Amino acid sequence: MTITKTLLSIRAALVLLLLSPLMAHADELNGANTAWIITATALVLFMTIPGLSLFYAGLVRVKNSLSVLMQCFAITCAASLIWMICGYSLAFGDGGSANAWIGNLSNFMLGNVMEGSLSGDIPESVFAMFQMTFAIITPALIVGAFAERMRFSAVLIFSCIWLLAVYAPVTHWVWGGGWLGEMGLLDFAGGTVVHITAGVGALVAALVIGNRRGFQHQPMMPHNLTMTVAGAGMRVGWSIILMLFCSFFKAVYFIKYSFCWLKPFT
């Protein structure tokens, strides 16, 4: 019995050691976490421009490469404006009686984000900017589904509507206190918010638009695989870093709740 208690005490000490970076008070600014989120914000933006832009531009024919590059850049600009105006408020606001489904417009134009506002233990402005980069890259991912088959103006209109009608509500469901988050869904790296929504949106867009003109009758080879590999490297490198950090936090989460399960036996 003494050995069992000793082992459980050692486990408890290890859990506290692992969780110590996560136990900062919500009303106290954490400089290390803030620095990391700022770095992560730059890296996620780097995944879109130039990472995703080069990846898609190298896969299309040479006459459409500049168009794809500009589509990704324009989506970056448009999504940034939408997120600042109302996207952040809809995704992370308190929707009251409709909070399970959508937020509200109380934070219109980031009006409630002050110099001293905190989200957890980081500035809310940094949190909003970090989330903005995910709002940028998600509609940009869909570009590959209709590359070479949609006008530039149509791409922008579709991306803006999709961001408000699909991305903002789903983000609220998972990360903003909505019904999926309340059910216990955990999304550490955007698997639901980013990849499932972008994947379904891309599939629907491709089915609606149809094949390229001349498909199966003329070759449509990628014009520059060097560009594609360079863009893929920019994306994959950051994804590996993100997966390593997410794996760490998942391990901490597992150890934490394993300890909670064993607590009655101590």
**Which pLDDT band, with edges at 50, 70 and 90, does 12 fall under?**
very low
- What was the pLDDT predicted at 245? 62
For 172-221, write each residue's pLDDT tens digit: 999 999 999 999 998 887 889 999 999 999 999 999 998 877 777 777 88
Q: Read out DSSP for 207-261?
A: HHH-SPTTTTTS----S-HHHHHHHHHHHHHHHHHHHHHHHHHHHHHHHHHHHHH
Selection from 27-31, 39-43, 126-130, 224-228 with the highest mean pLDDT: 126-130
Least confidently predicted of 81-85, 209-213, 240-244: 240-244
The enclosing H or E element of 182 equals: helix 179-182
Question: Contact 73/49 with Cβ under 8 angstroms?
Answer: yes
**What class does CATH assign to 2-265?**
mainly alpha
Give the global pTM. 0.78
For 130-146, write each residue's pLDDT tens digit: 999 999 999 999 999 99
Report the C-alpha gap between 48 and 41 in whole angstroms.
11
> For the chain, which residues make up each domain, given as ranges?
2-265
**Which pLDDT band, with edges at 50, 70 and 90, does 105 fall under?**
very high
